[in-house]
Amino acid sequence: MAKNNTTDIQKFTQGLSELTDFEMQFLLALCGVDPPGKPLNPKEAYLLLRPHVKKITAQNYAGKVLARIRAKGALPEFFEYRNLGINRAAEILHECTKAENVRIIRYGGGAWDYVRAPDYRTRLRAARMLLELNGAIGSEAIVNINVDARKTFSQAVAEHQEMEDQKRLALSTDVKDAEFEDES
């Protein structure tokens, strides 16, 4: 590990003094901090620290160690340190409020196009979760919102087809004016 990273971890772990050494090693392995790598599931983290136990035993004890860590309140602090806490969740939910659907329109001859439309269902779910997160509504609240202001797929296709027809008409206006001869 880099020296700067080690000092950050040491500073952070001073605030988690209630954890035993094994629990701290387990938490660091679980989150992929020490040894550095991808986050592990609880059984893998336990087997990394105690490689000689059976897999079923590791599964059982890993759950118990994780429950002790959770009971000591260390998980929220650790997740915030790894940028996986409530602030990160709020950022992701904010991005979900901009969700869109993309529909592909296929024409004959291999031509295709696409139409973007707001994904109101995902946007409303994200907004509801943000309200819950901020305590504006409880998770048990039932909010039934029916908003269908989006275009249907057939409307989007019809609008697209109309635009294509207008383009074609604009390109085909090379009609010559009629010529009249004077008979006098």
Tell me the pLDDT tens digit for each residue of 115-154: 888 888 888 888 887 777 777 776 565 555 555 566 677 7
Tell me, what DSSP letter sits at residue 178? P
- Retrieve residue 32's tokens: 């992929």
Q: Residues 76-122: pLDDT tens digits?
A: 767 766 666 677 778 888 888 888 888 888 877 777 888 888 888 88
The number of CA neighbours under 13 Å toward the Cβ of 26 is 25
Q: How far apart are CA 27 and CA 19, in angstroms?
A: 10
Spatial contact of 49 and 22, defined as CB atoms under 8 Å apart = yes
With CA atoms as reference, report the closest residue to 27 among 62, 2, 58, 59. 62
Q: CA 124, 128, 134 angle in degrees (round to 5)?
A: 145
The chain-wide mean pLDDT, for the chain, equals 75
State yes or no: cis peptide before 35, omega within 30 of 0. Answer: yes
pTM: 0.43
Per-domain residue ranges of the chain: 3-84, 91-170
Q: How confident is the model at residue 1 (pLDDT cuts 50, 70, 90)?
A: very low
Bridge partner list, 102: 116
- Retrieve residue 19's tokens: 């954890």
